[in-house]
Amino acid sequence: MKQINDFLRKKVLVLGLAKSGVSAASLLHKLGAFVTVNDFKPFDENPEAQGLLEEGIKVVCGSHPIELLDDGFELVVKNPGIPYTNPMIQAALERNIPIITEVELAYKVSEAPFIGITGTNGKTTTTTLIYEMLKEGGKNPLIAGNIGTVASGVAQEATKDHVIVIELSSFQLMGIKEFRPHIAVFLNLYDAHLDYHGTKEEYGNAKARITANQTNEDYFIYNAGQGETTAAAKGTSAVSVPFSTDSIQRDGAYAENGYICFRGEQIMEMDKVVLPGRHNLENILSAVAAVKLYGVSNEAIEKVLTTFGGVKHRTQFVRELNGRRFYNDSKATNILAASAAISSFDGPLILLAGGLDRGNGFDELIPLLQNVKAMIVFGETADKLTETAKKAGIAIIKHVDNVGVAAREAYELSESGDTILLSPACASWDQYKTFEVRGDMFMDAVHKLK
């Protein structure tokens, strides 16, 4: 970790805890800042705040009092999930107090370079692929973000011999000032988080900040098939490296004649790749571009892509049993994500779907359900999904109590050669605490099948 004096004897407010806030507060304390933590959860129910108090850090819990800002803070480190419309943030802006997110702290203290990945969909899969390829290629990677240790924690352990691979949300990127990844990846942009950003344009601008501080010594990998990502490439100072599943990008990554290619070189045969689906091919191409720029061998790339079955709960291959292949896509908590998963399979499909009712219908799925021979539905949206299945002409529709029962019913209905896919198209909160709990229940039921 770099020993810096940027925060020495500065008054810093850490707003919101969770893992990133705890890590940020502890790091700032080590760097000599006068830290105050403010979290909405009451102190008696807040073990994180209690632990920070034991470290000697001032904590204010139970509310976000605006008058706290009268203490003369020189910096606010904001939890990424707190929107800029929050009254506390608005008051800080009115006082011209700089606001950053924890990833900016990580960059300031890290001795290692960063590979940053952002986009609406595919961030976790791509981040994991890049990490695994770098590891297989002997490049000493560390992984940070939502799928690993928070960035400021990883950065404290990193040396010049490491490279930090980090998944970055738009919320995090809005709070950077100097953060500069050596390689930035912008996967795609779809309508999402508009309740936070207001418009798709603002959402896209936040994502594009991943390249804001890059120079001509850095690389910006972007999706050449989307206008928003291509526009970001036109505005970057980094070397632009495109990827595409639809067109030949001779200066980037692409698919041609059954091969994954990079800058005119055939890397490996596409048929050997384990991950299914066009959306995963985009993730793979962007990952290949990143690691080839880092000097990883084709052999290391091929080894990962022929063994990597997917990130848990994201079109994750679970098991093959008597010719049936089971996939867990519990992370598909909306129609867009479920559409991507369903489109990944060409053969006969049994689809398991349902969950929290947010008021929307599911007729958008109908054009994608042509290969679905049976649908098993559950949760609050079971009746709506039943109607959608009927409109799509699906002959077999079953309503069950939960995903465990759904797994068993699907197996009973299936034949050799079928794919059984859990892709709920809904959040889990009507029956399960998280999508992970839902996916684990499904996988447990699948592994018990005989």
**Binding-site annotation, residues:** 119-125
Query: Between the CA of residue 248 and those of 242, 243, 256, what are the distances in Å?
Result: 10, 8, 7
CATH number of 104-305: 3.40.1190.10
Domain spanning 316-448: CATH superfamily: Mur ligase, C-terminal domain (3.90.190.20)
pLDDT at 148: 72
**Binding-site annotation, residues for ATP:** 119-125
**Could you give the 3-state DSSP secondary structure of residue 76?**
strand
CATH 3.90.190.20 domain extents, the chain: 316-448
pLDDT at 192: 65
pLDDT above 90 covers what percent of the chain?
Answer: 86
Residues 6+ apart with CB under 8 A from 316: 309, 310, 327, 328, 329, 439
pLDDT at 311: 81
Please check the confidence at residue 399 and state whether its pLDDT lies above 90.
Answer: yes
Q: What are phi and psi of 282, to 5 degrees?
A: -60, -45
Residues 6+ apart with CB under 8 A from 312: 328, 436, 439
pLDDT at 193: 66
Average pLDDT over residues 398-418: 97
> Angle 40-41-47 (CA atoms, 0-180°, nearest 5)?
135
- The beta strands (E) that lie in 90-138 are given as 99-100, 114-118
pLDDT at 110: 98
Please check the confidence at residue 177 and state whether its pLDDT lies above 70.
Answer: yes
Residue 218 amino acid letter: D
Residue that is written with structure tokens 């129609």 in the block: 335
Name the CATH code of domain 11-100 (choices 2.30.110.20, 3.40.50.1860, 3.40.50.300, 3.40.50.720). 3.40.50.720
Please check the confidence at residue 194 and state whether its pLDDT lies above 90.
Answer: no
CATH 3.40.1190.10 domain extents, the chain: 104-305
Residues 6+ apart with CB under 8 A from 388: 361, 362, 363, 365, 366, 369
pLDDT at 21: 94
CA 104 to chain centre: 18
CATH 3.40.50.720 domain extents, the chain: 11-100
Residue that is written with structure tokens 């592994």 in the block: 447
Q: How much is the pTM? A: 0.83
**Could you give the 3-state DSSP secondary structure of residue 251?**
coil
Check: CB of residue 16 under 8 Å from CB of residue 82.
yes
Average pLDDT over residues 216-245: 97
Residue that is written with structure tokens 């692929």 in the block: 129
Q: What are phi and psi of 95, to 5 degrees?
A: -90, 5
Half-sphere exposure of 450 (CA within 13 A, CB side): 0
Cα–Cα dist 276/261, whole Å: 18
Q: What are phi and psi of 317, to 5 degrees?
A: -70, 125
Q: What's the whole-number average pLDDT of the chain? A: 95
